[in-house]
Amino acid sequence: MTQAASIASVLKVGELICPFAVVTKDEKRQSIEFEATTQDEAVSKGWDSFAALKDQVDIWSLAREGLQHGVDGKEDVLVVVAWTQGMTEPAVFTQRFVPKANGGFTLLGPIGIQDQPSSELDRIAAGFSEGIQDHPKGHLWDSWHRD
């Protein structure tokens, strides 16, 4: 999520995050970008990578920009879908944000977690928060954020 926020924080008007996956095997991490003619096509390529790689990696995640319904209409969100060995389905994390082009990049409210059993939410949230802080730009998270 921090990498997606870092990219979104410097985008120009009309630019979107190029969907990307981060995969980890043992201690090796690799980032894979999915360029395509449309955002939907790029996201589809990202999901195809999950099907192709999930038996070969320890962790797989896909980050992208998206929209979700909010109280004032559609809201911009950063979306990270994450999966690790032992999970039956990937977890979906969303972070509402204001794009730089709309008055300055700002993260809004808490991270949302979807599609996970409530018994797992605390463990998943703790691991996700640790990942945010471990990123080289994790120290910027609080300065980007507005409740």
Q: How many CA atoms lie within 13 A of 127 on its CB side?
A: 12
pLDDT tens-digit readout, 37-75? 999 999 999 999 999 999 999 999 999 999 998 888 899
The per-residue b/e assignment along 7-43, b for 16 or more CB within 10 angstroms, e otherwise, is bbbeeeeeeebebbbbbeeeeeeeeeebeeeebeebb
Residue closest to 3 by CA, chosen among 108, 127, 95? 95
pLDDT digits over 96-138, tens only? 999 988 888 999 988 888 866 666 666 666 666 777 777 778 7
- What span, in angstroms and rounded, lies between the C-alpha atoms of 74 and 52? 32
**106-114 and 28-33 as β-strands: parallel, antiparallel, unpaired?**
unpaired
Q: What are the sequence ranges of the domains in the chain?
A: 2-137
Residue range 77-95: mean pLDDT, rounded: 89
What confidence score (pLDDT) does residue 121 get?
63
Mean pLDDT of all residues in 27-45: 94
